[in-house]
Amino acid sequence: MTKPIVDFPVFDADNHMYENTDAFTQFLPKEYEGLVKYVQVNGRTKIALRNVISDYIPNPTFEVVGRPGASEELFKHGNPEGKTRREIIGKPIRSPEAFFSPEPRLKLMDELGLDRALMWPTLASLLEERLDDDPQATHVVIHALNQWMHEHWTFDYEGRIFPSPVITLPIVSEAIKELEWVVERGAKIILIRPAPVPGFEGRRSFALPEFDPFWERVQELDLVVGMHSGDSGYQRYLNEWEGLGDQEMSIARGARRANPAFVSLSSQKDNLVDAMASIIGHGLATRFPRLRFMPVEYACGWIKRGATGVIGTNRSDGAATMRAIVADAPALRARHVVAGSAMKAALARGAQPVDLEGWAAIDAAEVARGAGRQSPRIKLAHWHELLAAARGSAVGDVEDVDGASDD
């Protein structure tokens, strides 16, 4: 490995592989032959699913791609000159072999000073939305993709590259079967689409109880659940207002665009924010508290500013956070921190910590309060109620805890 440019290990959580043209078809069962095709349109190669051409990714062979770093100025300073996307990306480059295969990618990582990297699929992001009315076919083509990924990349390449197999959820039993298959072959992380799951009876959140057998197994296996941007299907909300029918989201040249004034003024639908809201609000994180979700690419701008912003604003937030960390680094390194000192300091100030068992007791108390009023729960609104519930006391029996009051 070349000499790193920083004095700490670097783990890139948002690296990508480009799929070869046989990624979806090499292991596709014979009865599904023709489900995925590459076709020529006006001299350009396009991908078609069930004979419907998709422009979601205009160049599905990835032979020519945008230069790495081409959008840096956009994310740093915005687009005050009103450049088109093509003008921003500039002159493209021919994709090196490192974009398609693990061995040359490892050499490239050495040059960049990257110690380890997650490797997300790219073209796979269009599959689930375009097969939304055929759950069985969705599971079949996702399995074919994972077979190709395991053969071509493995799920753990030399302990440094960790490709992420995709798990699709329309049929829960098939999802569990696929989960077991990738784990047996060394998967450290799985990729779940942060969007409602299409199925035989329509779309619904993956956080609803019907998916609990799958999540129970994920928790038992202690797998990280990755979430990355892709086609969530949210384009349909914009299409309804614009009258665009079933037009897919596309950056292709000549693709019909929504009215920019409407887009800038309308409410922002963010599928990741909605996915996180569902994990919490539909109780998935409560039912399976040891699940670990890792949304990437979206950064954390929406935590800082609320559920607003795009990748560009998120990146500027991330840059500001990193500048603050770097500025604090010398003082942090010089500080001698004793394990447990923060907790001791909090206890010295009279803090009363609540552990996971106490939190579960609070949750149960709130659910019990709601049961008699035909409500999923009634929140405990005061500190003394929360502490009483955490300690197993009946909330109504405790009028005051350590001086807390309802006032």
Q: Is the Cβ–Cβ distance between 388 and 398 less than 8 Å?
A: yes
Residue 392: give the domain boundaries. 341-397
> What phi and psi values does residue 172 have, to the nearest 5 degrees?
-60, -40
Contacts of 259 (CB under 8 A, 6+ apart): 242
- Residue 253: which pLDDT band, with cuts at 50, 70 and 90? low
Q: Which residue has the higher pLDDT, 344 or 47?
A: 47
Q: Tens of pLDDT along 122-172?
A: 999 999 999 999 999 999 999 999 999 999 999 999 999 999 999 999 999
pLDDT, tens only, 309-336: 555 666 677 777 788 888 888 877 666 6
Q: Name the nearest CA neighbour of 71 among 315, 321, 324.
A: 315
Which pLDDT score is estimated for 384?
A: 85
Looking at mean pLDDT, say which of 175-184, 244-253, 313-322, 340-349 comes out highest.
175-184
| pLDDT at res. 303 | 56
**What's the 3-state SS for the chain?**
CCCCCCCCCCEEEEEECCCCCCCCCCCCCHHHCCCEEEEEECCEEEEEECCEEECCCCCCCCCEECCCCCCHHHHHHCCCCCCCHHHHHCCCEECCHHHCCHHHHHHHHHHHCCCEEEEECCHHHHHHHHCCCCHHHHHHHHHHHHHHHHHHCCCCECCCEEECCECCCCCHHHHHHHHHHHHHCCCCEEECCCCCECCCCCCECCCCHHHHHHHHHHHHHCCEEEECCCCCCCHHHHHHHHCCCCCCCCCCCCCCCCCHHHHHHCCCCCHHHHHHHHHHHCCHHHHCCCCEEEECCCCCHHHHHCCCCCHHHHHHHHHHHHHHHHHHHHHHHHCCCCCCHHHHHHHHCCCCCCCHHHHHHHHHHHHHHHHCCCCCCCCCCCHHHHHHHHCCCCHHHCCCCCCCCCC
Residue 120 near residue 226, CB atoms below 8 Å: yes
Q: Are 341 and 328 in contact (CB under 8 A)?
A: no
Q: Please check whether residue 357 lies inside any domain of the structure.
A: yes
Q: Is residue 335 part of a domain?
A: no
Into how many domains does the chain fold? 1
At 395, is the pLDDT very low, low, confident or very high (cuts 50, 70, 90)?
A: low
In a domain, 45, yes or no: no
Does residue 352 lie in a domain region?
yes
Res 312: pLDDT: 61
Placement of tokens 């399995």 in the chain: 143
Asked if the structure places residue 131 within a domain, the reply is no
Query: Lowest mean pLDDT: which of 249-253, 287-291, 356-360?
Result: 249-253
177 occurs within a structural domain: no
C-alpha span between 10 and 322 (Å, rounded): 14
- Which residues, including other chains, have CB under 8 Å from residue 326's CB and lie 6 or more apart? none
| Residue 58, in any domain of the structure | no
Higher pLDDT, 11 or 340: 11
Residue 380 lies in a domain: yes
